[in-house]
Amino acid sequence: MGQRRIVSGSRILITGASQGIGKALAEAAAARGAKVLVCARKLDLLAELAQQIRAKGGVIETAHADITSADDRRGMVEAAQKAFGGLDILVNNAGIGATGHFADCSAERLRQIMEVNFFGLTETTRAFLPMLKQGNKPAIVNISSIAGKRGIPARSEYSASKFAVQGFSEALRAELAKDGVDVLVVCPGLTQTNFSHNMIEQKALVQMDHMRGMSPEEVAAQTIKAIEKGYNETCLTLNGKLMVFVSRFLPWVADIIVKRKVRGLFKDEMEARQAKKLPQADRIHAS
């Protein structure tokens, strides 16, 4: 457990805040009385969000930023200093994804996912560490995924990036204990956002129905709760929690389930490949 804190009055920066979970988080934090700095690549959506929050009496500033850019990361630090004189809570929310089997995808796609989901997150954290160490009950909040607790077929690259975030967060939590900086991880499951529409590519035979998941507002509420209570790790959705439980205590069961699913999807391909391997006599007998 980390420190308990009050969101009201806290200075919070949220990356990837133009839509989805990031947007809902900005709205929830501002409604609680936080001073919010939102960053994203889509400046028009940030401006719209800022207008909505200010109309309700909230305090919000915006910064146009791509977390993969060193110049933009420095710009975010300068924006936080200028707007609020520092920072208390950094929410690393920006992320991208893609679907499709690893063997069918390019090296460039993997590098792009890792560049945003892992390197962008870690380097944004690095940029803000000096400022956070001077903050009031400071915290780094990394928005990961259930896919960072259990690898999901056809989402191997995304899963790998979130596993990396998980390992980084656990190590950093111990390293920063001496500085009083908490490192919290939130792992959403399926969430009703445009994430699937914003993917680099979609090559999976079966697409996940994100509309069956939690709303962004529910994820935001759970994230705010985790920040206030100082929960080191928060896994969301019943199915997500069940997946994490089975993967941790019955990993062989999880392996059987996902393998059976993949084999079912590729049944015809597997049978055709097996038929090619059979000797002529066996093919006649098999038919």
Q: CB-hemisphere CA count at 13 Å for 247?
A: 14
**Average pLDDT over the chain, rounded to an integer:** 87
Region for 140 from its dihedrals, namely left if φ exceeds 0, alpha if ψ lies in -120 to 50, beta otherwise: beta
Residue in 188, 113, 131, 119 with CA at minimum distance from that of residue 11: 131
Would you report the helix, strand and coil content of the chain in percent, each value rounded to 5?
A: 55, 15, 30
pLDDT for 287 equals 47
Q: Contact, 70 vs 123, CB < 8 A? A: yes
pLDDT tens digits, one per residue of 157-215: 999 999 999 999 999 999 999 999 999 999 998 877 666 656 656 766 556 554 566 89
pLDDT tens digits, one per residue of 130-146: 999 999 999 999 999 99
User: Which helix or strand (DSSP H or E) is residue 166 part of?
Assistant: helix 156-175
The CATH number fitting domain 11-249, selected from 3.40.190.10, 3.40.50.720, 2.40.128.50, 3.30.450.20? 3.40.50.720
Catalogue the active-site residues. Answer: 158
pLDDT tens digits, one per residue of 213-253: 689 999 999 999 999 999 999 999 888 778 778 778 777 77
pTM, entire model? 0.86
Q: Contact, 9 vs 35, CB < 8 A? A: yes
Parts of the chain belonging to CATH 3.40.50.720: 11-249
